[in-house]
Structure 1
Amino acid sequence: MTHETGLSWLSEQCGEMADLLPGELDCLVEQGPVSTMVLIAGRSVTDLSRPAALQLGRDLRRLLDSALPEETIRTAWVGSTDHVFDPCKEEVGPRVWLERIEAAWLSAESRHTPGFVPPAADPVTDDALRAAVLRAISPVSADLALADQMAQQYNPLPLTDLVPSLEQVVIQVCADLGYRLFLRAMKAYSVAIDEHGREAFVALGRRFGHPDGLVEEGLNMR
């Protein structure tokens, strides 16, 4: 069972095409990434615990309510997952894509719980936690940026720089969401960390109330 929650769970699902359900893989081939992500979002209600499923709605609303530029949202998402799942490949803007995912999530939640009322976004805006996430990113920022640049070499739809985009999610949106997307990017690009780095990441995750597995699972240890 996954330890992931919210939008970082969706990122995890999109990170490995082999993990998609047959219907989702067919949808990816026939309709493209946007429709596939909508399908995946719909099963969050059955695949996740209640807190983790509700977190998806919070994360989506946090980004939709933010003043982040479209390209920053897109880069933070695509950098945290397989580049196959770039909504711009279907000429769909990031906010429109988020709205479609939110609608699918709301529909699934309403079927599961009649009269469902979505939770407040409740972003983590504590300055100390924001600073702690930025400190966690700093030691690996060069390695993560290089890995992202290598991945961009053959990308027909170039992205803005990944690390500054993740930092803007932390600063302007939510420290917790920014941290989880950063961790997904570290795992997606297999950026290596040592034991000291792992311990620091886990300790920070605990400050957000996350289980150690959410942080550790999938990290590239050297």
Structure 2
Amino acid sequence: MTQPDEPYYVMYDGDFGLSGLAGRPTGARPPVPQGEAVGDEQVGVDARSLLESGLPEEMIRTLWLVADRGRFDPAGEGMTVRSWLTAWSEAFPPPPPKRPQHRKYISAITPDFFARPVLVEREMRDAVLAEIGAVEADLARAVPGVAEALRSAVAGAGADLGFRLLLRTLKVCSVRVGKARHDRYVELSDSFEYCYAVIDDGLEVDWPPLDTDRRDGTWNFGLSELASRFAVEWHDRTRLEVVRGTAGSDDVGQTPGTAAALLLEDVTRLHASPLSDDTLTTLWLAASDCGLRPDRFGGDVRQWLEQIAEVCRERLREVAPGHDPAPARARTAGADEVLGELRDLAPELASRTVQPHWQGVPGADAARALEQVVTLVDPDLGFRLFLRVLIALWMPLTAERYARFEALGERFGHGRYLVSEIDQFIQSDL
């Protein structure tokens, strides 16, 4: 199947094309061509797909009216559906053929080491048709006949448009889907290269209860994620805005509030731990690459942890009011392995300093603080903060050590992109 030069997630930060047009806010301009707006060029592409699909006029009209919640009927404006689609197609015609290229196209935005998926239209159509079949009974109760119209759209106009119309129909009809079905939609959206808003915005999902023991994220999380956000330029926001951004950064497959619950658990563990304020300060400064010093804001490190905790509670009251954070369960699994790696790297850590030119943190002090976290607080948290310190110290790693870190990450249930944050430091000559 034909792919755009750039992935859709590069071009659009929400739904697009005809499905995006149907999802426009109430009071937005009528869905007729009148000047360029973001996504309009894809409306032209989608319009041609439907015009060339062979679908009956009434079936296309049904698909559109359902997706658009009946707000705009071309027939009510003196047009047929086909003349309306033709107007869009003519307003945004296909671009002229490109000159032959002597090398494979490489996106200026998406790195070439992220290989773009190779899609086979027949396979993608079968996958989308299977998803229509899975929710057919719910769709039939909401709008009789719409499931068959969606099948025809997939067969005639293609899997891409058919899938987006399915998602729009589910949202309009308030059809609730389970997490497993939602995760399947995310897999398909990855293949089509949509941004996740195409899936999530407006889709009703029966999420499982919040559970901080469930590791279903892909990226970093908790205090280690917050520390990483202070390790880069952040001064265009307040420190609490950075915390709110972290607390609200639920991964696409996570129950709303998960990021806040995980961050709250980390800071609660540290706040209640026997670690001294000096040790906690060393730990925070090393993990955040000295990006924020709590004492510069009129408080100590435990007050800073409490401020983080309150932001998390605020987020949970908003999105998961029924969640009652239980006392963090004590964990010891993995402690020996993390301590072994820490102690093995101790000489190299002691030879380096976090931010050596400005009130830096000696690597030896950071290592001692990390050992206390692993033994007295939580090995999982200690391991994640260990990785942050390695990044702050620009610590070279052997491929063998990195492989052991990957194995530890898998043991803790971490997502595939958490440990990979340090793969930039692998050196083959060590």
TM-score for both structures, normalised by structure 1: 0.83
CA contact (8 A) 2:219 2:415 kept: yes
Q: Could you tell me which residue of structure 1 aligns to residue 193 of structure 2? A: none
Match of 1:186, SS state, is helix
CA contact (8 A) 1:57 1:121 kept: no
Q: What letter matches 2:332 in structure 1?
A: T
* 1:71-130 per-position Cα deviation (integer Å, ceiling 9, x unaligned): 11111111011213121233421111100110111112211223432243224224xx21
Residue range with higher mean Cα deviation, 73-82 or 192-201:
73-82
Quick check: which one's helix share is greater? 1
CA contact (8 A) 2:387 2:422 kept: no
Match of 2:417, SS state, is helix
CA contact (8 A) 1:44 1:105 kept: no
Residue correspondence of structure 1 range 10-21 to structure 2 within 5 A: 10-17=226-233, 20=234
Residue correspondence of structure 1 range 26-175 to structure 2 within 5 A: 26-27=237-238, 36=239, 38-49=240-251, 50=255, 51-126=258-333, 129-148=334-353, 151-155=355-359, 161-175=365-379
Deviation of the 1:45 alpha carbon: 4.0
Q: Distance in 2 between matches of 1:101 and 1:26?
A: 15
Q: Distance in 2 between matches of 1:201 and 1:139?
A: 13
CA contact (8 A) 2:349 2:364 kept: no
Q: Could you tell me which residue of structure 1 aligns to residue 415 of structure 2? A: 211
Matched, 1:221 2:426: yes
Matched, 1:197 2:401: yes
Q: Distance in 2 between matches of 1:143 and 1:81?
A: 19
Deviation of the 1:158 alpha carbon: 8.6
Q: Distance in 2 between matches of 1:7 and 1:204?
A: 18
Deviation of the 1:46 alpha carbon: 2.9
* CA distance 1:45–1:166, shift in 2 (3 Å): closer
CA contact (8 A) 1:6 1:55 kept: yes
Q: Distance in 1 between matches of 2:414 and 2:300?
A: 31
Q: Distance in 1 between matches of 2:361 and 2:418?
A: 30
Residue identity (%): 29
Deviation of the 1:178 alpha carbon: 0.6
Deviation of the 1:172 alpha carbon: 0.8
Aligned residues: 205
CA contact (8 A) 2:349 2:363 kept: no
Q: Could you tell me which residue of structure 2 aligns to residue 32 of structure 1? A: none
Q: What letter matches 1:25 in structure 2?
A: D
Matched, 1:181 2:385: yes
Match of 2:288, SS state, is coil
Q: Could you list the runs of 5+ residues in structure 2 that have no partner in the other structure?
A: 1-216
Q: What letter matches 1:145 in structure 2?
A: A
Q: Distance in 2 between matches of 1:59 and 1:53?
A: 10
Q: Distance in 1 between matches of 2:237 and 2:272?
A: 32
Q: Could you list the runs of 5+ residues in structure 1 that have no partner in the other structure?
A: 28-35
Q: Distance in 2 between matches of 1:82 and 1:151?
A: 7
Q: Distance in 2 between matches of 1:45 and 1:165?
A: 25
Q: Could you tell me which residue of structure 1 aligns to residue 222 of structure 2? A: 6
| Cα RMSD, aligned residues only | 2.4
TM-score for both structures, normalised by structure 2: 0.44
Residue range with higher mean Cα deviation, 197-206 or 137-146:
137-146
Deviation of the 1:48 alpha carbon: 2.1
Deviation of the 1:160 alpha carbon: 8.1
Q: Distance in 2 between matches of 1:43 and 1:214?
A: 18
